[in-house]
Structure 1
Amino acid sequence: MGALSKLLLVTFELVNELYTAVGAGVLGMVVLAKHGLESHCAVKTLTVIAITTASLVYIMGESEQIKPNKKKIVCITGCDSGLGFSIAQHAVDMGFTVFAGFLSLESKGSKEIRKIYGSKIVQIQLDITNLCSVCAAVKTIKHFLSQNIDYSLYAIVNNAGVMVFGEFEWLTDKLIQQQLDVNLMGTFRFTNALCPLLRQHKGRVITVTSHCSEATLPGLAVYGATKAALTAWSDGLRVEMAKYGVQVLTFIPGSFTLQSNIMGSQLQNVQDMHDSFTPEQHSFYSDYFKRYNIYLSHITPPPKPVKIDDPDLYKVFERTLLDKYPQTVYKNENWRYKFYHTMFKISPVWLRDWLVVQFMQMPEYIPEDNGETDEDFANISTDDIDADM
């Protein structure tokens, strides 16, 4: 028998055994393993079993999906810009009734959605850091449900969040507290207020976290801590609420800072950090602080809210809403994020930290550069920063 004939025969045997194993499932693999050991074809047997296992995992992962309709309400926080602004539109396009929470009903995002969708998206004023605002929003949802008894609260999407970029020592108490109040306590407050309705309608809680919840990055220590805390909270809440028929999951949407307003207050935040420095900190950080923030200055919000341009984002988001038996975590990530974050998990600490530095590509701290005075930074304008970029 020639080499080609042997290759074709082996290929046929592999395909035939794969077909049998996948069709017979776990029992097929057990029989195949027994046969392989008896016939001393260990390599071929292990190959077939590995491919079969992967196939079964994939098949089982293809979850049955729920059909959206207008009688299912999806309530989304933080819709003034960025992710909330985008997924509110996508959810209504899918066929859901959407209650969109806006910090201000006169914000650019609120006006833009009103212009495009009119009354198709129900807009509510919602500041999740304010208990009275949360209670008013919940009252609005309850009133709508009482007037439309065939509707149900299908899902809430905890999206509202703020991010302050800067090394931990630079952050003022106000900037730290703001991230804790919005990202963490606000999410807790809003979800807690809606728990009775979620139980009643057997809804689901979708909380937007971040890749920073898996690997907190330098410059985002507090932000990452809030997102990691949300992941831990979701783990506990998922088990608590499961017995009531409420599903809890997290959604990592990926990076889209240039299409969002999450860094909209960064320039003011930088000024607050600078103004709070002690004389020793001014002397120590000096040029590094300036270069660090000039580097970040290109992350500017668009002049008006825009819908995020990322088809993969919406595909993953759809699964958070439609999978009948949802996963614990849904993640949208490009190849670069996937590579680095996988390496972060499996690398020893020294390599992991080096990879983080390569991933962030932030300006390097050079002690010898600290020769500028406080007045030098005070004279920097927004135009100067833009010019340097």
Structure 2
Amino acid sequence: MEGCALSFWIYMGVMSVFVGGVVRKVLASHISAMPSLVAWLAATVLLERLCTLCLPAFLVLAGLCAACCLYSSRQAPNLATSLPTEGKAVLITGCDTGFGHVAAKRLDALGFEVFATVLNLAGEGAQELQRTCSPRLTVLEVDITRPEDVQQALINTKAKLGMKGLWALVNNAGLCVNFGDAELSLISNYRGCMEVNFFGTLSITKAFLPLLRQAKGRIVTISSPSGDLPFPCLAAYGASKAALNLFINTLRHELEPWGVKVTTIQPGAFRTGLSSNMEHWEKQHKVLLENISPSLLEEYGEEYIQETRELFASHAATAPTDVSHVINTIVEALVSPQPQVRYFAGPGVGLMYFIHSYLPTTLSDKFLQKLFIKKQIQPRSLRKQNNLGKIHSLNNNNNNNNISSLNNNNIITSEK
């Protein structure tokens, strides 16, 4: 009886997860939801059969994870059945390095008319784009946090487009100046991330919306899983991306009547831009030590902050450099007749979201802690408290042993 009851509850849990997943996907995919519906129902039927065999719970969980990974995997777009690129204009922000730089080259090669924004026209990234790409590509010097730069970019783009609208805006520019725990992160770090990742993206999106509405075009935004998942030591960066995600999702609803499709891409961890520069992490470490309050530094300890710097640098150094998965996803979002609302681009991203969405919080928290920043050193104050606790416990044990020994002696004396 107990075995049957356990099987029943496993069955109910699995079916609830997958039926909920079906409903969730259908509601999120307000366009062409049939492929998602078929895939989830097929997975549901398969696991329902597994449950009837009374398989152990861990096998069911493995099946869930495998189904999630298969579902979230994305292939390169089939250009034969995609929208034509000729005559379509795309503006991409943050093309000095990283995703934006590679995407600008790729979209130019596909025949798009590309407007690539960079921070420095004389920089190596801008020069390479001008040297290697076709005459269709235009490089614009734009700091998206400066309204005058954004307005000038709009004027230059309009002048070149003429009466034609803008097919797509790819919001790629971003910044991560966060370093360490939320309490240790400087207020300037929070403001810096918000200024670029949220307000900068907000500014350029609002400026170019009339051109996008005119073309019934698309907005593709490169966000981050840290905007949805509580990664340790990424509070400033994650908060800015969370604000960005909410803005973009709200915009998606509001622009639907205009025929503008809005997509968010959640990439995995890749080694791009400053993240691959060890001097960057050294500079961040130095700035933090110079500006943190003495009392806070005493409570956490320099060795704790030093370990965080080393973990960040190590994580960046081991991250993959091949960004083709992200670039393929950007292309798919631009040329697909029915782009998805959200894409996961990178190994393991779909699994992270699955664990965060469907498993208990305690398990998902442990998963993120083990996945990203594996801290070994405790803050100095906690180490002191633990040491005092051990000493106190040791003294109590000694006292108890002495009392026990004394009682035994008394018993022996009494027997004599």
Task: Please list, as runs of the form range in 1=range in 2, the aligned pairs for 1:350-361 lying within 5 A after superposition.
Answer: 350-361=362-373
State the identity %.
28
- Partner in structure 2 of residue 234 of structure 1: 248
1:213 aligns with 2:227: yes
Instruction: Give the distance between the partners of 1:366 and 1:253, measured in 2 at CA.
Output: 30
Write the distance in 2 (CA, Å) between the matches of 1:272 and 1:250: 33
Aligned residues: 311
Secondary structure of 2:99's aligned partner: helix
- Matched with 1:173 is 187
The DSSP-based 3-state class of the residue aligned with 1:169 is coil
Q: CA deviation at 1:139?
A: 0.3
Q: Is the 8 A contact 1:83 1:260 kept in 2?
A: no
Equivalence map 1:256-275=2 (5 Å) = 256=270, 258-262=271-275, 264=277, 265-275=280-290
Which amino acid counterpart does residue 366 of structure 2 have in structure 1? W
Tell me the equivalent position of 2:150.
Answer: 134
Q: Larger deviation: 239-248 or 337-346?
A: 337-346
Aligned residue among 182, 191, 194 for 2:208:
194
1:83 to 51, 76, 99: 99
Displacement of 1:73 in angstroms is 0.5
Select 1:251's aligned residue among 265, 280, 288: 265
User: Which secondary structure state, in structure 1, belongs to the residue aligned with residue 338 of structure 2?
Assistant: coil
Tell me what 2:304 maps to: 288
Looking at structure 1, the residues matched to 305 and 342 of structure 2 have their Cα atoms a distance apart, in angstroms, of: 36
Rounded Cα–Cα distance in structure 2 between residues aligned with 1:200 and 1:125:
24
Shift of 1:328: 0.8
Superposition pairs of residues 1-389 of structure 1, within 5 angstroms: 65-117=81-133, 119-146=135-162, 149=163, 151-163=164-176, 164-256=178-270, 258-262=271-275, 264=277, 265-286=280-301, 287-298=303-314, 309-334=322-347, 336-367=348-379
* RMSD across aligned positions (CA): 3.2
Shift in Å, 1:94: 1.5
Contact 1:216 1:225 in 2 (8 A): no
State the shift of 1:246 in Å: 1.2
Query: Contact 1:175/1:269 (CA < 8 Å) preserved in 2?
Result: no
Distance 1:214 1:332 in 2: 15
Structure 1 portions without partners, runs of 5+: 1-24, 30-41, 47-56, 302-306, 372-389
Distance 1:296 1:369, change over 3 A: farther
Looking at structure 1, the residues matched to 379 and 268 of structure 2 have their Cα atoms a distance apart, in angstroms, of 34
TM-score, length-normalised on structure 1?
Answer: 0.72
Query: Which whole-Å CA distance do the structure 2 matches of 1:261 and 1:174 have between them?
Result: 18
On the 8 A contact 2:89/2:113 being kept in 1, the answer is yes
Task: Measure how far apart 1:367 and its partner are.
Answer: 4.3
Q: CA deviation at 1:234?
A: 1.4
The verdict on how the C-alpha distance between 1:65 and 1:152 changes in structure 2, with shifts beyond 3 A counting, is farther
Contact 2:167 2:217 in 1 (8 A): yes
CA shift for structure 1 position 300: 6.4
Kept in 2, the 8 Å contact 1:129–1:185? The answer is yes
TM-score scaled by structure 2? 0.68
User: Max radius of gyration: which structure?
Assistant: 2
Amino acid at match of 1:333: G
Q: Is this contact kept in 2: 1:101–1:123, CA < 8 A?
A: yes
Q: 1:111 to 1:133 in 2, by over 3 A?
A: same
- Separation (CA, whole Å) in 2 of partners of 1:121 and 1:100: 7
- Structure-2 separation of matches of 1:201 and 1:340: 36
What is the identity, as a one-letter code, of the residue corresponding to 2:87?
K
Task: Say which SS state the counterpart of residue 230 (structure 2) adopts.
Answer: coil
* Distance change >3 Å, CA 273–CA 367, structure 1 → 2: closer
* Contact 1:82-1:260 within 8 A present in 2 as well: yes
Gap change, CA 1:249 and 1:280, over 3 Å in 2 = same
Residues 108 and 134 in structure 2, CA contact (< 8 A), matched pair in contact too: no
Please state how far the C-alpha of 1:165 moved relative to its aligned partner: 3.2
